[in-house]
């Protein structure tokens, strides 16, 4: 009989043993343990059909239909599990740690594997994730107007051995109306949270963690409220990069995308830009004047970025004048300021 274990032991064992998530593909896509493999007991269509039978005809007929769906797949399940198992061990879970995972674990045990079940299933993992965000992490924030090179600074910090949590990287989005260009599809907010949790577990929580100054929403996902509040209250190292350097950087980052993509991004913020500025941006795009489009949109984005810090009278903000956009030099400047604990305004 498969052993049931709590979330702490389950996650500890997952460092060496593979996790099999036996929920349907649509459940897995909505959110899953980042290291898990999906081995669905039922397809999305089969799961839906079983649900209908359960509601209309009862539990017994629904279970009979389930067995009908599963029986032809049993040998494949065993072969896949044997290939994935490490030292004959495998971890299994479903949504609540119920019939789906226990049935699969029993099958694997009969095939000679040691299968361990997550008590409470994925639902317990999600509770664990959300509770973990209440930890008082030592966030340090890289700030600066759009085009300041904040992402590049985070990459430099990471190369120097610093702990970096890049929300935009996890979100597959760079934050602005243009932020989805060139990015992979975004995860769900639930999976976004799962990946954040997974990365935080790899850090030394007693040491500082660098993040970018973000709004709570990044495209279609949201930074968990406790972490966002930590970010708001943390020391912000705000880069002051000359406007034209920011313009040139943004032209380089986005100017190679098709015009129709850039136009769509402009139109998404037309209410905030205003009618005149929107028309000017469209005309600049038609004339291939990408730098002018950037200047027009930055007028809006710079005000939007400054507003929340202005509302707090720039409490906790250290302004860092930068001569140029040299990311290495600016990173070293930030680290020197952080090391010496310069007085915060």
CA–CA–CA angle 66, 72, 75 (5° rounding): 120
Would residue 322 show up in a list of annotated catalytic residues for this protein? no
- Work out the burial of residue 59: count CB atoms within 10 Å of its CB; fewer than 13 is exposed, 13-18 middle, 19 or more buried: exposed
**Residue tagged active-site, from 37, 94, 156, 322:** 94
Residue 209 dihedral angles phi and psi, to the nearest 5°: -130, 125
Instruction: Say if residues 331 and 153 touch (Cβ distance below 8 Å).
Output: yes
Q: Determine the Cα–Cα distance for residues 211 and 154; give it in Å rounded to an integer.
A: 7
- Classify residue 72 by its DSSP letter: G
- What is the residue-wise DSSP string for 137-161? --EEEEEESTTS-HHHHHHHHHHTT
Q: Determine the Cα–Cα distance for residues 23 and 146; give it in Å rounded to an integer.
A: 41
- Classify residue 226 by its DSSP letter: H
Tokens 């136009």 belong to residue? 263
CA dihedral 197, 203, 205, 209 (to 10 degrees): -90
Q: Determine the Cα–Cα distance for residues 33 and 20; give it in Å rounded to an integer.
A: 10
* 15 Cα distance to chain centroid: 21
Angle between helices 290-311 and 259-268 (to 10 degrees): 30
- What does the H/E/C string look like for 188-221? CHHHHHHHHHHHHHCCCCCCCEEEECCCCEECCE
Instruction: Say if residues 39 and 92 touch (Cβ distance below 8 Å).
Output: no
Residue 175: left if φ>0, alpha if ψ -120 to 50, beta else—which one? left
Catalytically annotated residues: 94
């Amino acid at each position: 009989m498969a052993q049931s274990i709590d979330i702490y032991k389950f996650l500890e064992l997952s460092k060496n043993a593979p996790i099999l998530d036996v929920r349907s593909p649509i459940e897995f896509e909505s959110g899953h343990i980042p290291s898990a493999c999906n081995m669905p007991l039922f397809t999305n269509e089969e799961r839906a059909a079983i649900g209908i039978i359960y509601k209309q005809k009862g539990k017994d007929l629904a279970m009979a239909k389930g067995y009908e769906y599963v029986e032809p797949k049993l040998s494949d399940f065993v072969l896949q599990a044997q290939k994935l198992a490490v030292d004959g061990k495998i971890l299994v879970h479903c949504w609540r740690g119920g019939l789906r995972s226990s049935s699969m674990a029993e099958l694997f045990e009969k095939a000679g594997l040691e299968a361990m079940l997550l008590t409470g299933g994925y639902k317990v993992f999600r509770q664990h994730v959300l509770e973990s965000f209440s930890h008082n992490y030592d966030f340090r924030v890289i700030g600066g107007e759009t085009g300041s090179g904040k992402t590049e600074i985070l990459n430099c910090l990471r190369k120097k051995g610093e702990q970096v949590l890049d929300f935009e990287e996890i979100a597959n989005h760079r934050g602005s109306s243009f932020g989805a260009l060139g990015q992979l599809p975004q995860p769900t907010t639930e999976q976004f949270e799962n990946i954040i949790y997974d990365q935080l577990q790899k850090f030394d929580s007693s040491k500082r963690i660098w993040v970018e100054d973000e709004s709570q929403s990044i495209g279609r996902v949201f930074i968990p409220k406790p972490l966002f509040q930590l970010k708001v209250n943390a020391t912000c190292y705000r880069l002051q990069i000359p406007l034209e350097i920011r313009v040139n950087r943004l032209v380089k980052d986005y100017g190679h995308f098709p015009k129709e993509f850039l136009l769509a991004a402009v139109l998404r913020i037309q209410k905030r830009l205003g009618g005149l500025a929107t028309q000017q941006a469209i005309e600049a795009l038609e004339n291939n004047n990408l730098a002018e489009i950037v200047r027009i949109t930055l007028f809006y984005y710079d005000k939007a970025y400054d507003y929340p810090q202005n509302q707090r009278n720039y409490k906790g903000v250290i302004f860092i004048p930068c001569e140029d956009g040299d990311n290495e030099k600016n990173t070293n400047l930030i680290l020197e300021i952080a090391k010496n604990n310069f007085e915060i305004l």
